[in-house]
Each structure stands twice: as structure tokens, then as C-alpha cells.
Amino acid sequence: MDPALLKERELFKKRALTTPTVEKKKAESKPDPVKDDKKKSKTSSASSGPKLDINTYKTHTGSSQYRFGVLAKIVKHMKQRHQDGESYPLTLEEILDETNQLDVGNKVKQWLQTEALANNPKIEVTPDSKYLFKATYKLKDRKALLKLLKQQDLKGLGGILLEDVQESLPHCEKALKILGNSNDIIYITRPIDKKKVLFYNDRTATMPIDEEFQKLWRSVAVDAMDDQKIEEYLDKQGIRSMQDHGPKKPVAIKRKKAAQRKKVFKKPRDNEHLADVLETYEDNTLTQKNTV
């Protein structure tokens, strides 16, 4: 390096060492009493207010999920006690006591009395403001069920769903077992939704059928054929037994049109109100002509 530059560098170092330096320290921030008071008031108000717990939030009166949960428990309990044979009505307080829901608020109780239980299709309200389970059919015992099935059979209304019977009849399993052992009822599984249907077993309608005819009847598969195809097949075989069956279309009755009457127009008569005043001058005109 250049010796002149080195000398200047050494001189600059000496000058820097000899000149005193003053460091400016950061001024310590003094606490603001106004801001501290505001912070303290916010923290105190937050701590003094009620803390929301998850468990208490679920049971809050404004939660619709909680209200419908209370209603679902009540309906399930009323159904169970009906199936157990308890047919006497209960008040709302008794129902809440039996379902262990006595901590329900007044708003939910009012909602249950005025809207939920009063409009529920599975709850029946008695005249004295008590509640019962409303089943699909009013059945007390197996005799009532057998009577209902007989009426369904006589009127041609078909059978009854097994799930409706289980809902309506107290001690259902025991009653169905007795009726099944005595061959008074028949179970048929519905192919659409695989639900079981109960029918009355009318023994007077049974008749002996030859086994060969039964085999022939079961050997013919008609699952994929409609009525029109079956009728065409029978026509080819020379059988015309189905020609008069099936729904008949109603014949439209033709109504005769009323004959139009010809309107007769009468000639208007002028000055009918002056009939007594007017005079005819035909005779005078004739006499004048004769004299001329």
C-alpha cells in the first residue's frame, strides 16, 4: 500500500482515541397512570363476569338442539311406558321427573306445553292437561289385535305393518307368539322394502288344492310379464278368461244439446199510449174523391 495512506490512517486512529464521545441513553418510559387504570378495569370486569362452561352452554335455554333433545327423550319415554302397559296419563312435571330432566328452565317448559307436546303427532293431550302416548292403533290386548285384523280382512283393506303393531300393542312379543301358535295370523314380507305385514288367517276361505295343480302354478314365472303380455299368451293358447277382467273405462254419457229456439221478433207498435186519441181519416178522403 501507499505509505502516505498508511500515515493518514494512523493519524485518524489517534484523533479518534483522543476525542471524547457521549452516549445518549434511551429515556426510560414512565408509567402512564391513565392507561394502567384502563387495563386494570378491563381485566377486573372480565374476571368478575360469569364464565361460560361447555357443559352449561349445552343446557342453555336458547339452544334449539337442547330443546329438541328434551322433547325426544320425552317421546321415547312415553312410547316405552305405553309398550310396558302403563296407560294412565302424566303431567309435564311427572314426565320430567321420570326422565331425570328437572333442571329444565321455564322457557323450555312453556315451549313444551304450548307448542312441542301439543302439536306432536305421537303425544295425546287429555282434557285435564295431561299427556299420553298416541299410537297408530288403539290396542289393549291380543283380542283387540285379532278383531282389528278381522275387520281389515272383511273390508278388503289388507294387512297391518308389524312395526305399527309393535308400537301400538303393549307386551307385543308375547301376544304375537300366542296368535302365531294358534295359526290366527300370517306374516308376509313386502318385497319393496322388506317390511313384515300381518294378515288375519281366515280358515273358512281355505280349500284343498291338488298338488299337481300347485306344482304347475308355481312352475310358471310371471315376474317379468305385465297383464297385457299374459293376456296375449292366453289368447295364443285359446284361453279367453281374462277378456272381461280388469278395470273398465267409464263410458262418457253424451248429453243432447238443447234445441235452439227461434226467436220471434214482434213488430213494435208505435204510439200505443195514444190509441184513444188518434182518429182515422180514411172515410173523409173517399168522400172527397167521389165528389170530385
Integer Cα distance of 292 and 285 in angstroms = 11
The architecture of the domain spanning 58-133 is Orthogonal Bundle (1.10)
Is the distance from CB of 101 to CB of 81 less than 8 angstroms?
no
Specify the pLDDT at position 236.
85
Parse the chain into domains and list their residue ranges.
58-133, 142-205
Q: What is the pTM of this model?
A: 0.52
Q: Supply the mean pLDDT for the chain.
A: 77
Say yes or no to pLDDT of 73 above 90.
yes
Q: What is the pLDDT of residues 132-142, one digit of tens each?
A: 999 999 998 88
Integer Cα distance of 184 and 159 in angstroms = 13
CATH code: domain 142-205 is 1.10.10
Q: Phi then psi for 161, rounded to 5 degrees?
A: -65, 140
